Amino acid sequence: MTHDATTRQDARVSPSTGTSPSVASAATAADESPRLERARARRRGGSVGRSRFLLALYLILMLLPIYWLINMSLQSNSEILGALSFWPREVTFDNYIGIFTDSNWYMGYVNSIAYVSMNMLISISVALPAAYAFSRFKFIGDKHLFFWLLTNLMAPPAVFLLPYFQLYYSVGLFDTHIAVALAHCLFNIPLAVWILEGFMSSVPKEVDETAYIDGYSFPSFFVKIFIPMIRSGIGVTLFFLFMFSWVELLLSRTLTATNAQPIASIMTRTSTASGIDWGTLAAAGVLTILPGIIVVYFVRNHIAKGFALGRT
Amino acid sequence: MTKVQNNRAWLLILPMLVLVAFSAIIPLMTVVNYSVQDVFDANTRFFTGTEWFETMLNDSALQAALLRQFAFSMTILAIEVPLGIGIALLMPKRGWQASAVLILITLPLLIPWNVVGSIWQIFTRGDIGLMGWGIRELGYSYNITRNPVDAWATIILMDVWHWTPLIALLCYSGLRAIPEAYYQAARIDRASRWAVFRYIQLPKLTNVLVIGVLLRFMHSFMIYAEPFVLTGGGPGSSTTFLSQSLTTMAIGQQDLGPSAAFSLIYFLIILLVSWVFYTAIMNMQKDDATGGHRHDA
Amino acid sequence: MAEIMLKALAHTYVSNPQSPADYAIREMTHVWHQGGAYALLGPSGCGKSTLLNIISGLLQPSDGDVVFDSRIVNELPPEERNIAQVFQFPVIYDTMTVFDNLAFPLRNIRTPEAKVRERVAEVADILDLVPLLRRKAKNLTADEKQKVSMGRGLVRDDVSAILFDEPLTVIDPQLKWKLRRKLKEIHERFNITMIYVTHDQLEASTFAEKIAVMYEGQVVQFGTPRELFEKPAHTFVGFFIGSPGMNFLEMTVTESGLSFGKLPIPVDPRLLELAHRSGSNNVKLGIRPEFVEVHEEVGSNTLSVKVEDIQDLGTYSILSFRLNGVSLKARLGEEHAIRGEYAHVRFPEASTHLYIDECRVEVGND
């Protein structure tokens, strides 16, 4: 009788004492069943390997021109113009040293960074409230206004070249950082409003209402609660603002002469009567890529969402 | 989301509006003003009406540039959109590899546009460029300063290199938003790879592709710095696009009236084509939504 | 048609598991018989969805085998397993019509179009989807979408089992029972094995003939809804099934018997013997609130307890009381009323269960 009870208890307890897949506890009814046939999959998945291969191929092809630029930047002009070599045989940093010791050169970077930062600051601070208005309220002319904003994204900078030149010249802003920063607002503010509106619309309106009930005023709610909620959206927006201001040439070149000249337009100086200074051109080019790498590194985790502009 | 009617929202818009108006409306008025006048100097000008517009529309050099521009924009769209989708499909979904690929892929987008031109100028030169050298080694006398076909092909290749990442990143973010259950259901339904793409991935990509196609169309239609540095618009005028024609006319020759008229036509074309693209895609989606009449069999 | 056996199956997401806690599924052997309607019930995170994905082939188990009839199918991808799965959120192909959605699995295996039409018509009829066949699937309501995803599982005549992963989560409450009925109807008509994952005991017991209760990666009990209620094999089952859950009294094992604090609890000597032999000090006595006898007057073997609260739930009420510092519950019928500050309760021996190390022990009756 007692013996009977024990076995039953063991049988009951066993499923839950199987703490790890040890061989010992595998003694179950299944082992007594007839021999099992092991089914083999008809299709084999080799597609992951293939897609990695194709992707690697694309990345290598994509990086080749950049590699070549770096390769050139580490060679002296005589080596560049000599026999073609796939890597620098005598690595030299002279091209970089030349740029960093000549204020005409390095001021170009300072100028570019100055107007890009100004533009980012101006754009984001006026776009944040505007995007909030578009995402939360209906008001007279809202749809037309939004559409008009987007048309500014489509305006070719070349169209505005001459009027800008005359406008900034007449108000005495020609050849200043702020001139370029303001000019870039033409496309950067609409872009910022567009992206931020997408991110803000994905924040439920109940958040706003709860905050007002809790006694927040609009400014304190906006700064303390709302902005932290769309942090990643703001990060992504800044990334895009940086990108479009940093890469633009036409307006920044036209609105500056010497004091605020961007690096991109200083680079045209490498071409002189005695030929092109390839090494310096390449080194200057490499240096223009670096800020972009730093910025993209900071937003790398938000980029995937950011490129959907908050809309997926 | 239901929005609240509130006209005080204009107060939030106001700072933005002032800035954009300053950057857009005042200059645009100037352009309109010039386009209907003949300006000799600050004090002497005549009203010309639509004369400059007629001249510009009949200018054979500009017509040719416009055609080139369309050919260029359509070609790069036809290459970059499928290629971008393809790359997005290949990209790893998570882990450090995903981050690394994202950073690398974004690189070309962050290079100043004239530097892109310089990179390709160096890369394609027959003497010191890897690609130029390589093609010559293969036995083809590649020369972008002499042969218009080579120049065209190179500019297309450069644009594909420069901008395909944008489409790829847009599509990648679209793909990431598809819940895993869709793929699992498709496996259980024994869908082929193609069916998964056609019926799951592509429909979810429409939104981002609308953005991608519009952005790419607009930007390619305004392209200036890259071909300017790479080919200078040549050989001849074979790679001279609209922005370059306009810049030459406005800054180089100081033809204020004609270039203003040209500017307005140029802007209107972009607006019109963007609008056509947008409505066409939106209509396609609406058809989808209201249920077309797909054949049952 | 198949019998599904999980043989010494275990799964971990960790590459180098150290302790049982690293396992999402702890080792189990379990059989789902052909044609049964089963539920897999448990709280979120207990491993039930993992188990479902292992059966359907979306996941490969790290240890053990999945056996369909007599074939080990571990290496087979879902598309070769003859399994259909319905997910928590309805998965439909947006751009297709309802008809094309239902036809999709058949067309993927190149079924002749005449046969496709016949099967789709049949399935649409059962699921009441006929009027919607020409509509775009995108514009359907959540319950219609879920029916379409179910329908995709049913159209294939080679399907041996349908797995449901909390399929009613996004369905409006008033439509839930309709869909559940539909499921039962389908089950009776097609004689298909159905495994239904849920965390809702009501859903599980209305749908399933037998329920597997999962807890921390293990099936702690597999039985009919009645068995789960009357004889919970594990304290977790007692706690999770029923509302409110089972009462547990922690026992002290002494030479002479079991006691709850200073209160001696009489048990079958054979159970006492087991408790002694286990050497465990985790011994609990469990009784469902439904079986606690409550009297206003002192009776034979009753214990006086202090009434804490009486919650009136309409047709019955729940009495909370305190015994030796432990809060316990009893269910009172409508006619029952406790007015005083104290009540007198009795735990009938036939309805009490003894748990050693959280597992129920019992002795055979002669």
Domain boundary among C236, C264, C287: C236
Q: How confident is the model at residue A45 (pLDDT cuts 50, 70, 90)?
A: low
Q: In total, how many domains does chain C have? A: 2
Residue C204 lies in domain: 4-236
Closest partner residue to B106 among A246, A281, A303, by Cβ?
A303
Report if residue C179 sits inside a domain: yes
Q: What is the pLDDT of residue A188?
A: 92
Q: What is the rounded distance in angstroms from the CA atom of residue A187 to the CA atom of residue A192?
A: 9
Return the top range by mean pLDDT from A300-304, A306-310, B293-297.
Answer: A300-304
**C361 in A contact zone (CB under 8 Å):** yes
Query: Out of B70-79, B108-117, B151-160, C173-182, which region has the weakest mean confidence (pLDDT)?
Result: C173-182
Is the alpha carbon torsion for A27, A30, A35, A38 positive or negative?
negative
Closest CA to C229 of C149, C289, C275: C289
| pLDDT averaged over every residue in chain C | 86
Using CA atoms, how far residue C128 sits from C90, C120, C125, C132, C174, in Å, is: 17, 12, 5, 9, 17
Which CATH number fits the domain B50-285, given the four candidates 3.90.700.10, 1.10.3720.10, 1.10.3470.10, 3.40.640.10? 1.10.3720.10
Strands C293-295 and C342-346: antiparallel
Q: Are A286 and A204 in contact (CB under 8 A)?
A: no
H-helix or E-strand spanning residue C83: strand C83-86
Q: Check pLDDT > 80 for residue C305.
A: yes
Instruction: Write down the number of H helices and E strands in chain C.
Output: 9, 21
| pLDDT averaged over every residue in chain A | 80
Q: How confident is the model at residue A121 (pLDDT cuts 50, 70, 90)?
A: very high
The pLDDT tens digits for C203-243 are 888 888 899 999 888 888 999 999 888 889 899 998 888 88
Q: Are C164 and C5 in contact (CB under 8 A)?
A: no
The pLDDT tens digits for B22-70 are 888 888 888 888 788 776 666 667 777 777 777 777 777 788 888 898 9
Size of interface A-B (CB pairs under 8 A): 292
The pLDDT tens digits for B204-242 are 888 788 888 888 988 898 888 888 888 877 787 888 888
Q: In total, how many domains does chain A have? A: 1
Chain B residues touching residue C99 (CB < 8 angstroms): 296
What's the gap in Å between the CA of A17 and the closest CA on chain B?
33
Q: Quick check: helix, strand or coil at residue B91? A: coil
- Other Cβ atoms less than 10 A from the Cβ of A172: the count is 9
Q: What is the mean pLDDT of residues C149-153?
A: 88
CATH number, domain containing residue C256: 2.40.50.140
Q: Check pLDDT > 60 for residue B288.
A: no
Q: What is the mean pLDDT of residues B235-256?
A: 79
Q: What is the pLDDT of residue B78?
A: 95
Chain B residues touching residue A238 (CB < 8 angstroms): none
Q: How confident is the model at residue C309 (pLDDT cuts 50, 70, 90)?
A: confident
Using CA atoms, how far residue C184 sits from B26, C34, C36, C59, C338, in Å, is: 71, 15, 11, 28, 42
Local structure of residue A300 (DSSP, 8 states)? T
Q: Are A65 and C104 in contact (CB under 8 A)?
A: no
| A135 to chain B: closest CA residue | B3
Using CA atoms, how far residue A309 sits from C18, C74, C178, C237, in Å, is: 43, 42, 40, 48
Q: Are A159 and A193 in contact (CB under 8 A)?
A: no
Q: What is the pLDDT of residue B170?
A: 87
Residues C267 and C355 occupy one common structural domain: yes
Report if residue C366 sits inside a domain: no
Counting as contact any 3 or more CB pairs under 8 A, the partners of A are B, C
Q: What is the pLDDT of residue B291?
A: 40
CATH number, domain containing residue A267: 1.10.3720.10
Contact call for A254 and B251, based on CB within 8 A: yes
Residues C111 and C182 occupy one common structural domain: yes
Q: Are A54 and B90 in contact (CB under 8 A)?
A: yes
Q: How confident is the model at residue B21 (pLDDT cuts 50, 70, 90)?
A: confident
Closest partner residue to A12 among C17, C76, C359, by Cβ?
C359
Contact call for A293 and B246, based on CB within 8 A: no
Residues C259 and C196 occupy one common structural domain: no
Report if residue A119 sits inside a domain: yes
* Bridge partners for C10 per DSSP: C63
Compute and round to an integer the Cα radius of gyration of chain A. 31
Contact call for A36 and C65, based on CB within 8 A: yes
Q: What is the mean pLDDT of residues A12-24?
A: 38
Q: Check pLDDT > 90 for residue A189.
A: yes
Q: What is the pLDDT of residue B74?
A: 93
Residues C193 and C291 occupy one common structural domain: no
Neighbour-count burial of B191, counting CB atoms closer than 10 A to its CB (0-12 exposed, 13-18 middle, 19+ buried): buried
Closest partner residue to A205 among B1, B90, B108, by Cβ?
B1
Contact call for B207 and A63, based on CB within 8 A: no
- ipTM comes to 0.84
Q: What is the rounded distance in angstroms from the CA atom of residue C140 to the CA atom of residue C125?
A: 17
Q: Which residues of B touch C (CB under 8 A)?
A: 179, 181-182, 184-185, 187-192, 195, 199-200, 203-204, 288-294, 296-297
Of chain B, the end-to-end C-alpha distance in Å amounts to 39
Local structure of residue A97 (DSSP, 8 states)? H
Closest partner residue to A139 among B7, B173, B264, by Cβ?
B7
Contact call for B99 and A300, based on CB within 8 A: yes
Domain boundary among C236, C270, C290: C236
Domain boundary among C236, C262, C289: C236
What's the gap in Å between the CA of B283 and the closest CA on chain A?
18
Concatenating the DSSP letter of every residue in A223-252 gives: IIIIHHHTHHHHHHHHHHHHHHHHH--HHH
Q: Are A2 and C361 in contact (CB under 8 A)?
A: no
Contact call for C93 and B297, based on CB within 8 A: no
Answer with the residue of higher pLDDT: B232 or A169.
A169
Report if residue A54 sits inside a domain: no
Contact call for C5 and A12, based on CB within 8 A: no
Residues C222 and C316 occupy one common structural domain: no
Q: Check pLDDT > 60 for residue C142.
A: yes
Q: Quick check: helix, strand or coil at residue B5? A: strand
Q: What is the rounded distance in angstroms from the CA atom of residue C282 to the CA atom of residue A168?
A: 85
Residues C68 and C170 occupy one common structural domain: yes
- Best residue in A79, A159, A185 for a mutation probing chain B (most B CBs within 10 Å): A159
In C, residues 309-328, which contact A (CB 8 Å cutoff)? none
Q: What is the pLDDT of residue A309?
A: 58
CATH number, domain containing residue C184: 3.40.50.300
Report if residue C30 sits inside a domain: yes
Answer with the residue of higher pLDDT: A54 or A272.
A54
Contact call for B189 and C152, based on CB within 8 A: yes
**C109 in B contact zone (CB under 8 Å):** yes
What's the gap in Å between the CA of B291 and the closest CA on chain A?
22
Is the alpha carbon torsion for C199, C200, C206, C207 positive or negative?
negative
Closest partner residue to C56 among B188, B290, B297, by Cβ?
B188
Report if residue A77 sits inside a domain: no
Q: By 3-state DSSP, what share of chain C in percent is helix, strand and coil, each rounded to 5?
A: 30, 35, 35
Q: What is the rounded distance in angstroms from the CA atom of residue A28 to the CA atom of residue B35?
A: 92
Residue A243 lies in domain: 110-306
